[in-house]
A and B are shown apart, each in its own frame.
Chain A
Amino acid sequence: MNAMLLNAVPLASQVINLCAAIMLLLGFAMLAQRRVLTLINLFMLQGLVLFTSTLIVALSTHQNHLLWSAALTLLLKVIALPYILHRLIRRLSVKWDIETLLNIPTIMLIGIALVVVAFNVAQPISQLSGTITRATIGIALACVLLAFLMMITRSKAVPQVIAFLAMENGLFFAATSATYGMPMVVELGIALDVMVGMVILGVFFFQIRQQFDSLDIRHMETRREP
């Protein structure tokens, strides 16, 4: 009976659901990943999935401004940011494996708990949504929370930044999936902020390494007073 209900869902929606599921999977993969380079590639992949889903939403609902945001995603998250990150990694010559503050299985279990929380939170919203992609808002929230988890369990600067960008991916996904995208001017502003933030951080990495001889944030905790 369930399958019969599903049959009513159009193909575009199914593909978007698939994208959502892959987003979630990539979120977990990033959480578990130990190598920085692979992490960047996963981030790029997530951007690609985001681009695909935005494009499909745009085409299937004839929301032309979403085409622009899809192009923006492609340009920024699939090409520009991974390129910058790769360059940074090369120039900083940081190829080490990332240490996590907790062991990975524990992080995974916490991640699953977060996904359950996100799904529960999103349940009432999903039921209200009129868009073809309504069910994905829970996944988007889960992606945001997973990126958040990644941010607090990593001790190095570069993975933290990737986590930050992944969080932004999740938010963007929420915006496209729940509402067919925010107004264009807002999206442009967000993209600009992300870009500028990235450039600032790029400069920062060099400063941090110069001062601490490492990009390990734990070296910074000299001032850990109240």
Chain B
Amino acid sequence: MNFYALFAQLLELVVALVLAPILNGWINMCRAWLQNRSAPPLLQTYYTLSKLFHKDVLLAHNASTLFRAAPYIIFSCMALAAAIVPTLSTDLIFAPAADAIALVGLFALARVFIALAGMDVGTSFGSLGSRREMFIGFLAEPALLMVFFTASLISRSTSLSTIVETLAHREFVIYPSLAFAGVAFTMVSLAENARIPIDNPTTHLELTMIHEAMILEYSGRHLALIEWAASLKLFAYSCLGIALFFPFGIPEAADPLSLALAGATLILKLAVGGFVLALIETLSAKMRIFRAPEFLGTAFLLAVLAMLVHLLLETGQ
């Protein structure tokens, strides 16, 4: 609890806000390479965002206050989420608040608002997207919680900082449970971030879209905020994955040197992670929405197995 902690916290927030669109651009670039297309520039997301910020907001006649407030709420939820995940240091000012279950709640809050906003105007696409979003969320959240429980069982705490500290500062031990949980987490993040096996982030094909369907009515800075929030969400999930499963290199202290070092490792890990995500998206095909329960059911199963395996194999030795 000192100046450095505050500084690290602020730095994390800034890093998140800055890096999130770049991560998005990087994934799109990798995807383009892998699919033999010419890639958009790395900063493409920024260009899109700034274009959107310069445009006027066009509201539907029957849009309520909720519709207008939702982008801000969603954006702040995601910014907060991205900020409390320990990426650069575990010694953060918000560390006591960075609880795994609270984080799930934060994501859920954003989900509720985006779904409500999707239904607000009353178009058929909006409600369709909202329904699907809630459906996916209903299946993904238990799996996500199970993943967190496994990690918390290992470190005996639901605080993200403690989890990362425990996992990062240990000798090399193979945790089969963490491997399972990692796979489950990847599957959940794909679903939650509207990535390919569940949803296609680039499509506007009416029968398949989920996320895009909800935000069809948004324009201008509202749309920009939502897009930014979406990339923040992806960033938060990536950092969460890194923190839980590849936490090596996240320092406990918050002095400038270790922060700089941590920043470099983070960027490296994110680059690799983004490439892997692009690879997954290139290699797999989008599945029908009715197969989603099976996909997420498998994620849930894996997460539960992870917990059981941990209880049997890794305790009571």
**Are B297 and A105 in touch, CB under 8 angstroms?**
yes
Question: A24 on the interface (CB 8 Å rule)?
Answer: yes
Counting chain A CB atoms within 10 Å of each CB, the highest count among B293, B298, B302 belongs to B298
Question: B254 on the interface (CB 8 Å rule)?
Answer: no
Q: Which residue of A lies closest to B156 (CB)?
A: A2
With A18-B174, A25-B180 as contacts: A1 and B314 at CB distance below 8 Å: no
CA distance A1 to B315 in the complex (A): 11
Write out, one digit per residue, whether chain A residues 93-119 have a CB within 8 A of any chain B CB (1) or not (0).
000000000001100100010011001
Could you tell me which residues of chain A, from 183 to 219, have a CB within 8 Å of some CB in chain B? none
Task: Point out the residue from B173, B177, B297 that lies within 8 Å of A21, measured CB to CB.
Answer: B177
Of B101-109, B282-290, B303-311, the one with at least 4 CB within 8 A of chain A: B303-311
Task: Point out the residue from A9, A11, A20, A105 that lies within 8 Å of B317, measured CB to CB.
Answer: A9
CA distance A25 to B299 in the complex (A): 12
Q: Which residue of A lies closest to B173 (CB)?
A: A6
Write out, one digit per residue, whether chain A residues 124-153 have a CB within 8 A of any chain B CB (1) or not (0).
001100000001101100000000000000
With A6-B317, A7-B173, A112-B304 as contacts: A119 and B311 at CB distance below 8 Å: yes
CA distance A115 to B311 in the complex (A): 12
With A105-B297, A136-B313 as contacts: A3 and B173 at CB distance below 8 Å: yes
**Are B174 and A17 in touch, CB under 8 angstroms?**
yes
CA distance A147 to B290 in the complex (A): 27
With A2-B156, A25-B305 as contacts: A105 and B294 at CB distance below 8 Å: yes
**Are B312 and A135 in touch, CB under 8 angstroms?**
yes
Could you tell me which residues of chain A, from 1 to 15, have a CB within 8 Å of some CB in chain B? 1-3, 5-9, 11, 14-15
Is the contact region of chain A dominated by helix, strand, or loop, or is it mixed? helix
**Are B305 and A20 in touch, CB under 8 angstroms?**
no
CB of A17, distance to nearest CB on chain B (Å): 5
**Are A18 and B176 in touch, CB under 8 angstroms?**
yes
Question: A161 on the interface (CB 8 Å rule)?
Answer: no
Task: Point out the residue from A2, A7, A104, A122 that lies within 8 Å of B154, measured CB to CB.
Answer: A2
**Are B293 and A105 in touch, CB under 8 angstroms?**
yes
Question: A28 on the interface (CB 8 Å rule)?
Answer: yes
**Are A3 and B176 in touch, CB under 8 angstroms?**
no
Task: Point out the residue from B166, B170, B297, B308 that lies within 8 Å of A119, measured CB to CB.
Answer: B308
Q: For A116, what are the chain B residues with a Cβ–Cβ distance below 8 Å?
A: 308
With A28-B305, A108-B297, A119-B311 as contacts: A21 and B176 at CB distance below 8 Å: yes
CA distance A123 to B315 in the complex (A): 11
CA distance A75 to B305 in the complex (A): 30
| Chain B contact residue count (CB 8 A cutoff) | 29
Question: A74 on the interface (CB 8 Å rule)?
Answer: no
Q: For A25, what are the chain B residues with a Cβ–Cβ distance below 8 Å?
A: 180, 302, 305
Counting chain A CB atoms within 10 Å of each CB, the highest count among B156, B304, B312, B317 belongs to B312
Task: Point out the residue from A6, A22, A24, A28 that lies within 8 Å of B314, measured CB to CB.
Answer: A6
Write out, one digit per residue, whether chain B residues 118-141 have a CB within 8 A of any chain A CB (1) or not (0).
000000000000000000000000
**Are B174 and A119 in touch, CB under 8 angstroms?**
no
CA distance A108 to B177 in the complex (A): 18
**Are B313 and A139 in touch, CB under 8 angstroms?**
yes
CB of A107, distance to nearest CB on chain B (Å): 11
**Are A3 and B305 in touch, CB under 8 angstroms?**
no
CB of B260, distance to nearest CB on chain A (Å): 28
Question: A88 on the interface (CB 8 Å rule)?
Answer: no
**Are B315 and A138 in touch, CB under 8 angstroms?**
no
Question: A32 on the interface (CB 8 Å rule)?
Answer: yes
**Are A21 and B315 in touch, CB under 8 angstroms?**
no
Question: B56 on the interface (CB 8 Å rule)?
Answer: no
CA distance A175 to B74 in the complex (A): 55
Q: For B180, what are the chain A residues with a Cβ–Cβ distance below 8 Å?
A: 21, 25
CB of A57, distance to nearest CB on chain B (Å): 15
**Are B308 and A17 in touch, CB under 8 angstroms?**
no
**Are A108 and B301 in touch, CB under 8 angstroms?**
yes
The 7 lowest CB-CB distance pairs between A and B, nearest first, are: A21-B176, A14-B174, A17-B313, A135-B313, A18-B176, A3-B170, A21-B309
List 7 extra interface pairs beyond A6-B317, A25-B302, A25-B305, CB under 8 A.
A14-B173, A14-B174, A22-B176, A105-B293, A112-B301, A112-B308, A135-B314
CB pairs A–B below 8 angstroms (23 shown): A3-B166, A3-B173, A5-B317, A6-B317, A7-B171, A14-B174, A17-B174, A20-B309, A21-B305, A21-B309, A24-B305, A25-B180, A25-B305, A32-B298, A104-B294, A105-B293, A108-B301, A119-B311, A122-B312, A126-B312, A127-B316, A139-B309, A139-B313
